[in-house]
Chain A
Amino acid sequence: MASDSNQTLDAWAEQSDYKWGFVTDIESETLPPGLDEGVVRAISARKQEPEWLLEWRLKAYRHWLTMKEPEWAHFPDRPWGPIDYNAISYYSAPKSDEDRPKSLDEVDPKLLETYEKLGIPLEERAALAGVAVDAVFDSVSVATTYREKLAESGVIFCPISEAVRDHPELVKKYLGRIVPPNDNFFAALNSAVFTDGSFVYIPKGVTCPMELSTYFRINSLNTGQFERTLIIAEEGASVSYLEGCTAPMRDENQLHAAVVELIALDDASIKYSTIQNWYPGDENGKGGIYNFVTKRGMCEGDRSHISWTQVETGSAITWKYPSCILKGDDSIGEFYSVALTNNRQQADTGTKMVHIGRNTRSNIVSKGISAGHGQNTYRGLVKIRPKATNARNYTQCDSMLMGDRCGAHTFPYIEADNDTAMVEHEASTSKIGEDQIFYCNQRGISSEDAVSMIVNGFCREVLAELPMEFAVEAKKLLEVSLEGSVG
């Protein structure tokens, strides 16, 4: 490789300052660190939850105690120390909890400022893009916009704690149905101590009039965030939901163990998009967020459709496998992912597509970019159950490597129990060629722009799946993650 472009690529590995790292100085009402039944009861009491939910949490907690923490990360670069679950505070709410703001004007200006710095001006975004925002600041929702407009069409979009109060029958029916509390270690933990998250209900035949959006942000030192999101699309309903996040710079590792459940009934369609840009740690791998998320969608009805799109650029360690259970006949599951790891980041992500119904189809496109010492892994399962006649799956996993100390790994599992199944899996690994950079330089394009262009081209199939505003943000994010490190 020519030394010029070598430098260019090496420079990619260098850490650009994390622009969005700051701590908002708001007095938080926080439970002391530690986890026991008392903490679970305290969270439930503060949320004024009904008895059944407290029981549900306690059951999850007791089960969690019997479970073993998973340990798969086998990369020596970043020994994953055990998480001290008693050093985490499980509840943190902004002080103004007693007197919650009714509109944006009443929101603590400091909070708004925080969002401003993040580049998410709530009003502007809401007004310009017609997006309703359910912003989660630590654990309690502080602002919900466009609620009325949504209510007109019968859509419920509210914090899950509110849904527990106002729509207990729906929550009771669906909570934990897709991701049962004993599903895995982190889902069990989440079920015991979840504090907030979003609840979406789209009634029969309704197409949600706007894209729903929520921003998660981890604040308050030593506070793990345990959101719980539940989206239900009734027959013929359709919704697009956006989730995006940034977190302040920290030196201690923070745990994030969210659970997202999607349910699509007959002819319903749910599109779930994520941009994840939490603090990845510094160039030596100090600090950063542990992002251990359980996301699962159930295509319960015939001809239902669930689509996951994610752009993962942040977090020190990401373990995330948004999955689809294709139960209804003719249902469709999709998974589009871009994961970028730089410095000492590790991303272990992929999907599970479980084909149960007839004529079910799934499509998986995963793009991994590794730079520096980053380790990027695709791990996925395609399972064709015996009764899933005419199931189709197409999987494509592409990896791009920048620098000679990073890694790209692919661990697909394919299990077919039906002879009519057609399953295809393809994967490739490549790097940015010096000839490509040279070609661009020749035409007056700087090395930095060239790399950015090539990366964007590499991810295009996935970025094209994002809603427009999000696609712009995602593109920017990829650039920022590599900004100042080239040339």
Chain B
Amino acid sequence: MTTETMNDQRQFESDFTRLAEAGGPLAELRREAYERFVELGWPTTRGEAYRYTDCRPIAEADLQLAASAAEVPMDVLRPHLLDGVPCHRLVFVNGIFDETLSDIGTIPDGVTVMRLAEAITEQPDMVTRHIGTTIDWKIDAFDALNTAFIEDGLMMHVPAGVHLEHPVHVLHVTRSGDKPIVSHPRTLIVVENGGRATCVETCCGLGDDPCLVNPVTEIVAGDDVHVDHYRIVREGEKTWHIGGFGLIQGNRSNVNSCCMALDGEIIRNGMTGTLDGTEGMANLRGLAVVDGSRHVDNFLRVNHMKPECDSREYFKHILTDKGSAAFTGRIYVEEDAQKTDAVQTNMNLLLSENAKVRTRPQLEIFADDVKCTHGATIGRLDEQAMFYLHARGIGKEAAKSLLTFAFANEVIEDIELLPLRRMMESLLLERLPHGDLLRSMGGVD
């Protein structure tokens, strides 16, 4: 990959020096990552990884870590909470833990759900053993930047055989101000053999000033593990959300991860899944509703390292106004990974003439006994389906909404966490014209 130095990366120097002085078990990793970030520089569109996402506005902004937590009333947070299901809740505002808004509740014996900052001091071995193992921060500048500034976030550890009953909900709230702020929340989820857990991440923004949210989430799943992970991106109008996600799976493990990109000026969702045990299953899904002049970039890589694993990538983009979306998916199959079954799908629905789509569904296969397919489509709503509905007395706009909802719902309908699914459905309906009509039509219950 060629990344070209675009600007002075030393803008974070003072912030980093301050952090480095604190020392701790991650000091070495942070320093390496920082040096790597300076070396890589901000990604440019001349490199393959960020070919379709222009990071110049980010590079040019004078970004700073938040000095102190901003005040956020509970009422503002409420629409982002899951109804009717008890959660272990952690809330961070501008990257700083907010005790009053958080409600971690009772954690079962042996399970860890705590701030990463605490875990670094209390369980340094656990943290250092796993952190940075699922992503390659040496090749991605934003992952390197996050790693350089690991300070706080969520640490989850589920011991062997334990099923964590309630979901963990972590909210990263960004309250923008006069100065562009940056936060680098880190989430580390370790689930030991036979464990089970669910984690929901919400990244939400208040205020319309520019800022950068650069979260990285890592999941380390052992054998026979089941993990559900969701990330909902509802940032402020001028927020750049450049997210990283890393996953490594053991034998017979089953991991689902779903990313909903709804609000933010630029939303990048980088995902790397590595199937490192036999018979594993990685199920990565994403839905993006891209309106205004938003840009969404889903950038995925799935590594099949061991035989008999399955992977599914299912990403849908709905584009209106001047929205633009990019998808890059690469299925990589090692020589040893025979009997791999990988499916990759990217579908793009264009609802306006100024929308733009870039898609790169890629396969890189070094084993012969594999089943790998990928498909990408770009198109408008089906004229015949529109006509069908029209002929049955459904107005043009309502028909359009109905078909668009149906398109998106294929990603949402598999969400097992019911309150989250309801939330997604209603968010989707809000964005469609005549959404209330759809609701009353009983298409959505």
Q: Which residues of A contact B (CB under 8 A)?
A: 1, 384, 399, 401-431
Contact = CB atoms under 8 A, between A and B. Distances in A.
Nearest to B369: A431
B365 A423 contact: no
Given A404-B335, A404-B368, A421-B350, 14 more contacts: A384-B378, A401-B370, A403-B368, A407-B366, A409-B364, A413-B360, A419-B354, A421-B378, A424-B377, A425-B377, A427-B361, A427-B372, A428-B373, A431-B368
B251 interface: no
Interface string B359-392: 1111111111111111111111000000000000
B378 A401 contact: no
Nearest to A400: B368
B365 A409 contact: yes
A345 to B, nearest CB: 15
Given A411-B362, A421-B350, A429-B363, A416 B378 contact: yes
Contacts of A412: 360-362, 376
Given A422-B378, A425-B377, A404 B365 contact: no
Given A422-B378, A425-B375, A429-B372, A416 B360 contact: no
Interface string B330-374: 000001001000000000101111111111111111111111111
B368 A416 contact: no
Interface string B318-332: 010000000000000
A426 B379 CA distance: 15
A396 B380 CA distance: 21
Q: Which 10 A-B pairs have the closest CB atoms?
A: A401-B368, A419-B350, A423-B378, A410-B363, A425-B376, A429-B372, A414-B359, A407-B366, A416-B357, A419-B353
Nearest to A418: B353
Nearest to B374: A427
A420 B378 contact: no
B359 A406 contact: no
8 contacts: A404-B368, A410-B362, A411-B360, A412-B360, A414-B359, A425-B359, A425-B361, A429-B365
Interface in B57-83: none
A431 B368 CA distance: 6
Given A403-B368, A410-B374, A429-B365, A421 B359 contact: no
B362 A429 contact: no
A408 B332 CA distance: 10
A406 B368 contact: yes
A185 to B, nearest CB: 16
Contacts of B353: 418-420
Contact of A408 (B354, B360, B363, B376): B363
A325 B366 CA distance: 33
B370 A429 contact: yes
Overall SS of chain A's interface: strand
A409 B351 CA distance: 32
A416 B359 CA distance: 9
A322 to B, nearest CB: 20
A423 B379 contact: yes
A406 B366 CA distance: 6
A408 B375 contact: no
Interface residues of B, number: 35
A389 B140 CA distance: 37
Contacts of A420: 353, 380
Overall SS of chain B's interface: strand
Contact of B360 (A404, A407, A414): A414
Given A411-B360, A414-B359, A404 B367 contact: yes
A233 B363 CA distance: 38
Nearest to B354: A419
B338 A404 contact: yes
Given A404-B338, A414-B357, A427 B363 contact: yes
Nearest to B375: A426
B187 to A, nearest CB: 31
Nearest to B360: A413
B402 to A, nearest CB: 19
Contacts of A384: 378
A408 B369 CA distance: 12
Nearest to A428: B373
Contacts of A423: 376-379
B375 A421 contact: no
B358 A415 contact: yes
Given A419-B380, A427-B374, A405 B363 contact: no
Contacts of B360: 411-414
A396 B373 CA distance: 11
A434 to B, nearest CB: 10
Nearest to B365: A408
A422 B349 CA distance: 10
A429 B373 contact: yes
Contacts of A407: 364-366
A1 B369 contact: yes
Given A410-B363, A416-B378, A428 B372 contact: yes
B70 to A, nearest CB: 40
Given A404-B338, A407-B365, A419 B355 contact: yes
B291 to A, nearest CB: 14
Q: Which of B338, B348, B367 has the most CB of A within 10 A?
A: B367
A427 B372 CA distance: 8
Contact of A414 (B319, B352, B358, B367): B358
B130 to A, nearest CB: 29
Contacts of B365: 399, 401, 407-409, 429
B279 to A, nearest CB: 19
Contacts of B359: 413-415, 425
A401 B376 CA distance: 23
A421 B351 CA distance: 11
A225 B50 CA distance: 37
Contacts of A411: 360, 362
B365 to A, nearest CB: 5
B358 A413 contact: yes
A370 to B, nearest CB: 8
Contacts of A403: 368
Contacts of A429: 363, 365, 370-373
Nearest to B358: A415
Given A405-B335, A417-B356, A419-B351, A426 B368 contact: no
Nearest to B359: A414
Nearest to A395: B376
A170 B115 CA distance: 74
A423 B369 CA distance: 29
Q: Which of A406, A416, A421, A426 has the most CB of B within 10 A?
A: A416
Nearest to A393: B378
Contact of B348 (A405, A409, A416, A430): A416
Contacts of B380: 419-420, 422
B375 A416 contact: no
A262 to B, nearest CB: 27
A387 to B, nearest CB: 11
Contacts of A1: 369
Contacts of B362: 409-412
A1 B373 CA distance: 22
A408 B361 CA distance: 14
Given A408-B365, A416-B348, A427 B375 contact: yes
Contacts of A418: 353
Contacts of A414: 357-360, 376, 378
Contacts of B363: 399, 408-410, 427, 429
Contacts of A426: 373-375
Nearest to B357: A416
Nearest to B370: A429
Nearest to A403: B368
B368 A415 contact: no
A429 B340 CA distance: 11
Nearest to A407: B366
Nearest to B338: A404
